[in-house]
Amino acid sequence: MRIVQARDGGLARLRIFGGKLDAHAAHAVARAAVRCGSGVIELTNRANLQLRGIRDDAHAELVDIALDAGLGPQAEGGDDLRNVMLSPLASDSTRRLATAIVTAMQGDAALHALSPKFALQLDGGERLAMLDHPHDLWLSALDGGARYAFGLAGSMPHREADAPALGSIAGEHAVGFVVAVLRAFVAQASTDEHRMRDVLARIGVARFVAALSFDPIDITWRRAPADASLRFGAHPMPEGAAWYVGAQTQLGRLDAATLDALADLASTHAQGRLLITPWQGVLMPDVAAQHKEHVLARMNALGLITQADHPLARFVACAGSAGCAKSRADTKADAHRLAALLTVQGDVHFSGCERSCAAAHPVATTLIAVSTARYDLHVDARLVERNLSIEEAAAWLARSHADA
């Protein structure tokens, strides 16, 4: 387990493979957050968990709790190799393939050299999926998984202007292909090249893929659109008669008591399963139709966001100055202030510095802190205003929406 130092103590990162967290493990995480840290639990944009405020003398206890809950890697040194993003509603067959890929990666000692930030995506074509995050390698199902399109150092094409897929492979060759790509990366990357984009910038795509075996693909292929609003509320499961109920945390945070309550709710109504989402939220799958409204009401009562028009539904914010020494402002408090002032909805990203840790992909409206409660405003990656207060930022955004 990777524990790094932050302003508010140790920060422990728990990789939740495929976002799947059973109730027993959720209770263990809540217990660890209180026993070993400050009780604050963060949901990340890669569908993992972070525990904040970990004490120096509690590292061993935290690791023991995580391992006992089944949250550790399959092989020593393999914890960082589980960055494989799936749709929260990925099918059993997609999850089996993801498991086979991660097992092969963890069993290959040469791949343990990969950076903890090296990320893969396995997409089954689900309607609820995060398509904008860039990945070092992505695979997207064709013909129901008989084949997979693939690409490197980016996101899968789902808009006309997106870069096309590089090729396709047969489904039965997917595991071997992933391992071959990763071995090629490790062999060609220099000591300071940690991501696929770094290697491709130096040697080019054609040279990198020259030794790989794959089939061509129509460059006009685009992945079917996804609907991120389906993460909110109650909806029928893709298969069967059951429903799922989705909610989002407020700016990516839970406390231990809330996670315990969600685990209890999942045990009673969702076959003991929680699914962590890359929108910093949770889904409860396989809820009986007669119980979906109760589950939804309980999530609301716990302070989770269950409607897409909630003021904070499309806001993300980093840890801010309370938790990060690099942050120049209390981003989470400022995000709450801005949400209370805005009457229009839109994606807004609060970042305490230029690193933009909270958002894995560019957000149309980004506020980068310059000092306490003061921000530079960027729209579509272009600086448009400097040193705004929260009130000035709210007025600017209101005008821009009115003019649109």
Q: 3-class SS at 162?
A: coil
Taking the alpha carbons of 192, 132, 97, 51 in that order, is the dihedral positive or negative? positive
Amino acid at 349: H
Say if residues 60 and 68 touch (Cβ distance below 8 Å).
no
Q: 3-class SS at 253?
A: strand
Say if residues 53 and 40 touch (Cβ distance below 8 Å).
yes
Say if residues 87 and 124 touch (Cβ distance below 8 Å).
yes
Residue 47's pLDDT is: 95
Domains of the chain (ranges; CATH) run 2-76+227-301 (3.90.480.10), 91-125+131-209 (no CATH), 315-403 (3.30.413.10)
Angle, alpha carbons 115-317-162 (nearest 5°) = 60
Say if residues 93 and 145 touch (Cβ distance below 8 Å).
yes
Compute the distance between CA of residue 365 and CA of residue 359 in angstroms, rounded to an integer. Answer: 11
Q: 3-class SS at 371?
A: strand
Say what the pTM is.
0.95
Length of the chain: 404
**Is 186 exposed, middle or buried (CB count within 10 Å of its CB: 0-12, 13-18, 19+)?**
middle
Compute the distance between CA of residue 240 and CA of residue 91 in angstroms, rounded to an integer. Answer: 12
DSSP 306-317: -STTSTTTTEEE
| Structure confidence by residue, pLDDT tens digits, 92-104 | 999 999 999 999 9
pLDDT reading at 331 higher than 80: yes
| Structure confidence by residue, pLDDT tens digits, 243-299 | 999 999 999 999 999 999 999 999 999 999 999 999 999 999 999 999 999 999 999
Which range among 114-118, 150-154, 333-337 shows the weakest confidence by mean pLDDT? 114-118
**Can you say how many angstroms the Cα of residue 378 is from the centroid of all Cα atoms in its chain?**
23
